[in-house]
A and B are shown apart, each in its own frame.
Chain A
């Protein structure tokens, strides 16, 4: 075969030796054209010896190296002895460099099912322990700030209040209004069967003030602000800003967490009040479309709910706000800086999911608690 720009690879069985003769320019194009056939031939050959003759190779690049070394590996993997011949000094140097330190046993180990469950359980236990430690540290910082209010960074706290609270008003208002309307609309037909359409106002009042107002608000705050807390603090962690704070002697808890915690605890109940009002307003639209007056609707709501229902909702919203801030900030600070952008994304997702799960669990516990004490 004459030397051409196009690569050729001849593989022949000569007296029990598999002779591999690449010729021409052995590069990515040669690899694409010849890999499948060559690899199959080397893999299925029964010979115990392989000779690789590179004397016909005019040019060898990185892809070509992969082709030669790959065929050699396939042969040695089935116990074949490989010899090279006709290797120029330059090619020998490249082949020597490329084959340094190759260890194909170094592959990622797949975990078994039980190991996976064990790891997952341990990580949940570790997370709960970390959350308890984090809350303890936060409470100490909060007590210190109550004793000495100058400890709190008021500027940052006000900014966070604006972001958590004021900026969320339009979306909370919209959702509250729609939820109030939907509850009234969905309950109207069943209640009408009993001629109790006016009592739809009771359902709207109780469900919005006690449950849905605070719950919808909290889920929104978790999605907006909890995610933002985790992403912001996580990015600061990756960028070593948190390390810089620590080396300055500034506690990240006071500098980063406390303003967000105070903002969240104060603003979530205020947003919940807004959601309550808009929910009641939403219900009124459906009631008025059924022929009731706004005065009638409002009187019925006032009969159904009292101050305790309203306060119950506010307390719940305050607890939800605290949970969102704690989980969001803790997830941010737990970001592993070595894992970079991916870790920030992971922690942000976990912050939102954990917050929503914890909000619903806390809501159930508080519901039972308020019922037990007769509120």
Chain B
């Protein structure tokens, strides 16, 4: 809810000359990008473009082959494991299938990060977890097991868990995958509301055009064949006037419902 323009703030994540891949096989190279505080940015591209590989590097599961990734003043590409632990408190992640722990209730799933990383008494942890579930409109499912939830509800519960420690950055991996258009639109609306009310930065890995045009402040297109970042900017402007034929083709696919553009706050 900051009134300061996102462009003038220190970036939430800063990528400088980043190359990612597996082993010595480079998929994306020389990626330079600033992810601004409080923005919703989509990172997309075709299948095999390197989206998931990039996400695993941003979330510190893997280290880039080259370059720097700065999160919270620490370069996660070269940081020691101890430093990475503190960086991991700076973000939450929602995985494609939710990745909720099946042996715990939804409430216990949301309480788990607080149990591990805070000294809050159980009663307080439970109150916070209930509030987080309320934010994603899932308070009534607190006592349910993840297997009792629909796909959309599991993803909302996973967002509540990602929000558990009030991390300023949330990564979402293909949030629309496996959801019907209505549920997907509801999820987009939730992401937008959380961004507006809590000022959380959302980094979303997705190629879902309906979501991109509905809620993205910016869209970064990556392509493995071209070796890295193709273009970044307002997706509506890119769709209508990008000089890159690949970007225009990608953003002009037929049959996509295009909603009104959100105003970056």
Q: Which A residues form the contact surface with B (CB < 8 A)?
A: 27-28, 31-32, 35-36, 39, 61-63, 65-67, 69-70, 73, 90, 93-94, 97-104, 106-108, 336, 338-343
Determine the chain B residues whose CB is within 8 A of the CB of A36 once the complex forms. 121
Asked if B140 and A106 make an inter-chain contact with CB atoms under 8 angstroms apart, the answer reads yes
Listed by A's residue number, 14 A-B pairs whose Cβ atoms lie within 8 Å are: A31-B128, A32-B118, A39-B123, A62-B128, A62-B166, A63-B166, A65-B128, A90-B1, A94-B198, A98-B135, A99-B131, A101-B140, A108-B105, A340-B102
Question: In the assembly, what is the distance between CA of A343 and CA of B124, in Å?
Answer: 32
Of the candidates A32, A66, A103, the one whose C-beta lies within 8 Å of that of B119 is: A32
Q: Which residues of chain A come closer than 8 Å to B258, judged between CB atoms?
A: none
Interface residues of chain B, those whose CB is within 8 Å of chain A, are 1, 102-103, 105, 118-121, 123-124, 127-132, 134-135, 137-140, 142-143, 147, 163-166, 193, 197-198
A-B contact count (CB 8 A): 106
* A97→B134 contact, CB < 8 A: yes
Question: What's the nearest-Cβ distance from chain B to residue A268, in Å?
Answer: 34
**Residues of A contacting B147 in the complex (Cβ-Cβ under 8 angstroms):** 336, 338-340
Q: Within 8 Å CB of A343, what residues of B?
A: 102
Other 15 A-B pairs with CB < 8 A, given A35-B124, A62-B128: A31-B120, A61-B166, A63-B128, A66-B132, A67-B124, A93-B197, A98-B135, A99-B131, A100-B139, A101-B134, A102-B139, A102-B140, A103-B142, A106-B143, A342-B103
Is A108 a contact partner of B166 (Cβ separation < 8 A)?
no
- CB-CB nearest in chain A for B128: A66
Collect the chain A residues with CB atoms within 8 Å of residue B128's CB. Answer: 28, 31, 62-63, 65-67, 70
User: Which residues from chain A contact B142 at a C-beta distance below 8 Å?
Assistant: 103, 106
Flag if B124 contacts A66 (CB, 8 Å): yes
Complex contact B135–A62 (CB within 8 A): yes
Q: Is the beta-carbon distance between B124 and A31 smaller than 8 angstroms?
A: yes
Contact A70 B127 (CB under 8 A): yes
Most A CB contacts (10 A, CB to CB) among B124, B137, B193 go to B124
A35 in contact with B105 (CB, 8 Å): no
Contact A69 B127 (CB under 8 A): yes
The residues of A that contact B140 with a CB separation of less than 8 Å are 101-103, 106
When distances are taken between beta carbons in the complex, the residues of chain A under 8 Å from B165 are: 28
* List of A residues within 8 angstroms of B138 by Cβ: 101
Chain A contacts for B198, CB-based, 8 A: 61-62, 94
CB contact between B102 and one of A66, A102, A342 (< 8 Å): that residue? A342
Residue of B nearest to A35 (CB): B124
Residues of B within 8 A of A336 (CB): 147
CB pair A94–B197 under 8 Å, yes or no, is yes
In the complex, what's the smallest C-beta–C-beta distance from A164 to chain B, in angstroms? 31
Bound Cα distance from A69 to B143, whole angstroms? 18
With A and B bound together, what is the CA distance between A339 and B197 in angstroms? 34
Q: Which A residues are CB-close (under 8 A) to B127? A: 66-67, 69-70, 73
Closest A-B pairs by Cβ, 6 of them: A66-B128, A70-B127, A338-B147, A98-B134, A65-B131, A98-B131
Measured CB to CB, the nearest residue on chain A to B190 is A97
Give the residue name and chain of the B residue nearest to A72 (CB).
Answer: B127
Nearest CB in chain A: distance from B115 CB, A: 13
Contact A62 B132 (CB under 8 A): yes
In the bound complex, residues from chain B placing their C-beta under 8 Å from that of A97 are 134-135, 137, 193, 197
